[in-house]
Amino acid sequence: MEDTELKSLLEKHMYYEYLQLPERLSERLGLQNISDYKGVLPRYRLIRSFIWERPLKKVVNIGGNCGFFSLSLLDEDLIEEAVIYDIKPDILELGRKIARAMGLEDRCSFVEKSIDLAALDELPSTDGVIYQNVLHHAGDYFDKDLVAEIGWEKYAERFLKKLRAKYAYGILGMGFKWNKPKLWDVDKEKRRFIFRNLLEKSGWEIISDANVYSLMIDGGELDYRRFNSQKDTYDFKKSDLASLWDLVSFNIIKRAGIFLGSRQTSMRDISPAVAQMGQEIAKMYHIYLME
Ligand SMILES: C[S@@+](CC[C@H](N)C(=O)[O-])C[C@H]1O[C@@H](n2cnc3c(N)ncnc32)[C@H](O)[C@@H]1O
């Protein structure tokens, strides 16, 4: 596919919050999604600093979307191979196109598959796993019956133990939103700390624990060693209703932006409120680098 064709295809998706382009392609096409309110770019900079020093050759990327994290690591030769799993065929196809445009198609595969607890057994054993922002959806999007039966906490422990048995390194993203994870009967303020215990109980050593908002506002080098403190957190004393209101208005403004034509103008230009609310929401997200 010619660059001009790829660029116009990607421009159509630039409202999509998870679509970021690996740096080399972004520069080549002169295209960047600057409305990074999910903190994709700063998360990558943190992960890269961790992987730089570790001998990972092959990774499995569950819920990998259009492959930004895997493709960026491949392009920088920080890993040699990646398998990306997701449930969205159109997004996977976009990922394949991006990989082809970068000449990385022989080093990665995009697989349409829902990864639930049982499916973990079928995954290839590789050096590491990247699993960001999916586990808090268990009970909603997958394994509904099992989570309803045993509760989210027991479910997550089983999941994390299986990952631990299979992978030497883990990169895990979690959102502790007002209503997520579902069926986890634990106060919002305590969730983060209980989740750390859960990781440790499952056999993982937490090397780095970073709040995504902290990564977004940090002006310096995102060295993973700087983000290993339990203090890196934000009080979330908002009521459930106020949090729900944040989420609803965020989505209304976002959709209005798409409707108004975010292809020409970034969401941030259309409404600073989106970026600001996006950052509020980012305070509830964490990333764990583990071995
Ligand atoms: C919240 S997005 C996160 C995207 C990316 N991992 C990130 O953190 O930037 C969740 C992604 O996981 C995918 N997903 C949801 N449930 C899944 C499942 N059971 N198996 C594989 N992918 C799943 C969704 O399609 C989506 O692309």
The pLDDT of residue 282 is: 86
What tokens does 288 get?
């764990």
In this prediction, residues 199-214 reach a mean pLDDT of 96
Comparing CA positions, the residue from 139, 142, 89, 84 lying closest to residue 114 is 142
- Mean of all residue pLDDT scores within the chain: 89
Number of helices (H), then strands (E), belonging to the chain: the values are 12, 7
Q: Is the CB of 212 under 6 A from ligand 1?
A: no
Lowest mean pLDDT among 6-10, 126-130, 188-192: 188-192
Comparing CA positions, the residue from 46, 41, 71, 66 lying closest to residue 288 is 46
**Ligand 1 atom nearest to CA at 64:** 6
Q: Name the DSSP letter for residue 225.
A: G
* Alpha-carbon span 62 to 270, nearest angstrom: 32
Q: Is the CB of 193 under 6 A from ligand 1?
A: no
* Annotated domain spans of the chain: 38-234+284-290
The pLDDT of residue 228 is: 83
- In 3-state terms, what secondary structure has residue 268? helix
In this prediction, residues 32-47 reach a mean pLDDT of 88
- What whole-number percentage of the chain has pLDDT above 90? 65
Residue range 86-135, pLDDT digits in tens: 999 999 999 999 999 999 999 999 999 999 999 999 999 999 999 999 99
Q: Name the DSSP letter for residue 224.
A: G
* Alpha-carbon span 209 to 126, nearest angstrom: 23
* Alpha-carbon span 130 to 43, nearest angstrom: 12
Dihedral sign for Cα 136, 237, 39, 230, please. Answer: negative
Where do runs of H (alpha helix) occur along 167-208? 188-201
Q: Is the CB of 287 under 6 A from ligand 1?
A: no
Q: How confident is the model at residue 264 (pLDDT cuts 50, 70, 90)?
A: very low
Q: Is the CB of 88 under 6 A from ligand 1?
A: yes
The yes or no reply on domain 38-234+284-290 and CATH 3.30.420.10 is: no
- CA of 131 from ligand 1 middle (Å) equals 8
